Structure 1
Amino acid sequence: MPRILTYNVHRCLGTDGQLSPTRIADVIAACEPDVVALQELDVGRARTGGIDQAHAIAQALGMHVHFHASLRVHQEEYGNAILTRRPSQLVKAAALPGLTGKPSLEPRGALWASVNLSGTDVQVINTHLGLRRHERLAQIDALLGPHWLGHRACREPVILLGDFNASPRSRAYRRLTSHLWDAQAAPRLSRPKATFPSRLPLLRIDHVFVSRSIRVLRVETLRTPLARAASDHLPLLVEIQILQSRGHRPSVAYAQG
């Protein structure tokens, strides 16, 4: 069954102060994922030695990479990526809205790839939302709108995942779960697992949301000593089964509970 992983890698800077894309790749490899969504990658930035972290991690894993720079200053980039060994095509990569009058906020973005899993093209959208409530709500409205999840090409099965900076009690989370299932809320699964901070995870802000043609079989976080040290987030792994889809758009609301 396909295994999907989301992981905020904190520019490969560990909780022990060590900078190591190789260690991040080792954590990912232990999960044996088919698709990996990464956030907070540095590409060509002086602060992390000029390394292209997205390609370095992908090369170590033997995966292809799609990268989108949310922030670009001269030749330095910072953003998110989708990695996979499966046949895939980048559909869209673009900025998400910020707050009017707040130009100093960190730019945010998303990227969308179509990945063939179990013979089915799955639409995978990876994002990293802002820290302010109104900022996140504007970004979620954009993701649910006609250029992303509401686009005619974004048909089931669909996976929206990443670091949403939103807990299950937040308005942002509730807005998303009126359209998609939270993988950790699937029936018969164990208690939802927190991912942040990695040393003592208390917050559930990294999420995998799925459309109705996806059945969630298993969810886990990797809590090994290596994972606790490699980043300030733990990776969230979801094992899925893709059900027969009739090409429906995922923008119809499905209430949970």
Structure 2
Amino acid sequence: MSTFSDPAAVQDAKLIKVLTYNVHSCIGTDRRLDPQRVADVIAASGADIIALQELDVGRRRTGGIDQAHLIATLLKMEAHFHPALHVEEEKYGDAILTALPTKLMRAGPLPSVGETRGAIWLQVIANGLQFNVLNTHLGLRGIDRSRQVATLLGGEWIGSPEFQAAPAIICGDLNAIPLSPAYRMLARQFRDVQLLAGGKPRPTYPSRLPVLRIDHVFVSEGLGVRRVAALADPLARRASDHLPLLAEIEPSAALIRAGMRSAASA
């Protein structure tokens, strides 16, 4: 029987499940509006940290519901929402959901032409370790995506001392395949979890017959990957036009030891 004196048991205890999911305003491929169905897909994944894109908050087209708050409530989590689009009382944007302790570090717009894009960055404490978690939804034009990633890599976001001080998880619908400039800009500093996990990377869009790999999770040095899956059961194929991407992330033994030393000295 393993105990926490066993390094393998410690590693299992530190496993973090991260999900990125474009929920398409909770309107499924059957054209039905159903936030409960989206919450059910997320709950089945067992994810600890959920990065959501394309959420409606107070919009007439989806019944005026605060989708971020509703989904978080159904999952017994807290939601940090950033409206990339905010017109009068109607909002549309991205959120990070978790039941773990968090601190909002930054939420703001990215340089955009046409539909406004944004990002949200939290510090999250998981199993005694601190992580930076960033969620974003990039634009449809390649030139916009490159400018948006350049902004994210700059001194107000990823390049800041606070971001650099802890291991990082970058999530989102990047609208960018691996051959694109925006993807390659991120891949120079972070590692794609689908490549780290081995095996054939799985596309996530469109959900009924996925052919494009545009939803991504990246991690910094010190973080490994146990398993990655594009969740493609019948419910997930109906709930949104994107499939959710789940990554089981594990910190290195050195990172765990550093976290234990910090906790002991606190």
- TM-score, scaled relative to structure 1: 0.92
SS in 2 for 1:153: helix
Cα displacement (A) at 1:59: 0.2
Question: Which residue matches 2:116?
Answer: 107
Equivalenced residues, count: 241
Cα displacement (A) at 1:224: 0.8
Tell me, yes or no, if the aligned pair for 1:156 and 1:213 is still in contact at 8 Å. no
Question: Which residue matches 2:51?
Answer: 37
Cα displacement (A) at 1:156: 2.6
Question: Which residue matches 2:152?
Answer: 143
**1:68 equivalent in alignment to 2:78:** no
Once the two structures are superposed, what CA deviation does each residue of 1:189-246 show, in whole Å capped at 9, x if it has no partner? 2210100000000000000010011111110011111000000000000001112347
Cα displacement (A) at 1:171: 1.2
In our comparison, the structure showing a higher alpha carbon Rg is 2
The 2-side partners of 1:97 and 1:55 are apart by 27
Structure 1: segments with no counterpart, 5+ residues: 100-104, 248-257
**1:193 equivalent in alignment to 2:213:** no
Question: Which residue matches 1:158?
Answer: 168
| 1:88 aligned to which of 78, 87, 102 | 102
Once the two structures are superposed, what CA deviation does each residue of 1:161-196 show, in whole Å capped at 9, x if it has no partner? 100000011111111101100111115x22101000
Tell me, yes or no, if the aligned pair for 1:6 and 1:36 is still in contact at 8 Å. yes
Match of 2:180, as an amino acid? S
Alignment of structure 1 residues 200-215 onto 2, 5 Å = 200-215=209-224
- TM-score, scaled relative to structure 2: 0.89
Question: Which residue matches 2:4?
Answer: none
The 1-side partners of 2:219 and 2:203 are apart by 18
Question: Which residue matches 1:16?
Answer: 30
Question: Which residue matches 1:253?
Answer: none
Question: Which residue matches 1:174?
Answer: 184
Alignment of structure 1 residues 197-236 onto 2, 5 Å = 197-236=206-245
The 2-side partners of 1:90 and 1:213 are apart by 23
Percent identity over paired residues: 54
Cα displacement (A) at 1:118: 1.9
The 2-side partners of 1:126 and 1:172 are apart by 15
Once the two structures are superposed, what CA deviation does each residue of 1:80-109 show, in whole Å capped at 9, x if it has no partner? 00000111111110000124xxxxx10000
Tell me, yes or no, if the aligned pair for 1:110 and 1:128 is still in contact at 8 Å. yes
Question: Which residue matches 1:117?
Answer: 126
The 1-side partners of 2:127 and 2:211 are apart by 34
SS in 2 for 1:218: strand
When the two chains are superposed, the root-mean-square deviation of aligned CA atoms in Å is 1.1
Tell me, yes or no, if the aligned pair for 1:9 and 1:41 is still in contact at 8 Å. yes
